[in-house]
Amino acid sequence: MDIYTLGIDVGSTASKCVILKNGAELTAKSLIDVGAGTSGPARAIAGVMEASGLRPEDIAYTLATGYGRNSIEGVADQLSELSCHAKGAYFLFPEVKTVIDIGGQDAKVLKIASGGLLNNFVMNDKCAAGTGRFLDVMARVLEVRIEDLERLSAESTNVVNISSTCTVFAESEVISQLARATDKRDIIRGIHRSVAGRVGGLAKRIGIEDQVVMTGGVAQNHGVVAAMEQEIGHKVYTSPLAQYNGALGAALFAFQRATR
Ligand code: ADP
């Protein structure tokens, strides 16, 4: 009989769910663009159940992770997003040694030991610079959609240096660049470089080893991924499941629990 497990990642910015079949095959996923403390987690669970065509009693084990993992009911257990990101990245990239996760409100760099276990980590959760929030704020000022940043930065011919690391000051810097009619695409490339500089600096603190994998919502922006490769001097791998990586790890741990 097939064993289905559900992983839920209640992030600061988005709620993600993954259902796995036999700890190996993606059955369904869902994402709602609001996270902890909102209706997001419940809507994401309803969404993934509907997409899977399964009934609640078909799910052998449910495990929650992420910033708001303690806030939802009806889960068998919960685990830190550090363990779940390590697990998910190792599943997608068995050669992974370094995970760079950039979410909505924090950035973490994980060192992965053999077998996919978490060895060490550093994190920035004190400051919006170098997080998805920084990009969200800048996209709003630039009047572009977050999913268009990648395409626009790829068209840039002359990167603009954003010198402020503080999000509030960097926002003022962007506004004054716009007032000077600087090309938005060059500003966006500068913004990507700023995020890569912040998080790349964090990564250098614990040491970067190949393979390097980027996870979290920001990893979908290949403009940031390219800037990161330039910053750290290593190839950076991503997956279309990057934003689901924590939920994937949770579903994998859920499978271990269901079968132990
Ligand atoms: P959290 O787990 O903290 O809720 P996520 O890993 O889900 O965060 O990432 C959320 C961030 O991902 C958002 O702040 C946004 O900047 C970024 N993001 C979301 N969707 C996209 C997209 N399609 N392209 C680029 N960036 C995105």
pLDDT tens, residue by residue, 180-212:
999 999 999 999 999 999 999 999 999 999 999
Question: pLDDT by residue (tens digit) across 137-158?
Answer: 999 999 999 999 999 999 999 9
Residues 254 and 230: their CA atoms lie apart, in Å, by: 37
Q: For ligand 1, is residue 34 a contact (CB within 6 Å)?
A: no
Identical fold at 1-93+241-260 and 94-238?
yes
Domain 1-93+241-260, CATH: 3.30.420.40
| For ligand 1, mutation pick of 146, 153, 213, 241 (most atoms within 8 Å of CB) | 146
Res 72: pLDDT: 87
Would the CB of 243 count as within 6 Å of ligand 1?
A: yes
Q: How far is the CA of 23 from the centre of ligand 1 (A)?
A: 25
Write out the two tokens for 63: 């495990």
pTM of the model: 0.96
Angle ∠(229,230,231) on CA atoms, nearest 5 = 95
The domain made up of 94-238 is a member of CATH 3.30.420.40 = yes
- 37 has pLDDT over 90: no
Tell me the pairing of strands 77-78 and 59-65. parallel
**Domain boundaries, given as residue ranges, for the chain:** 1-93+241-260, 94-238
Atom of ligand 1 nearest to the CA of 216: 6
CA of 85 to the centre of ligand 1 (A): 15
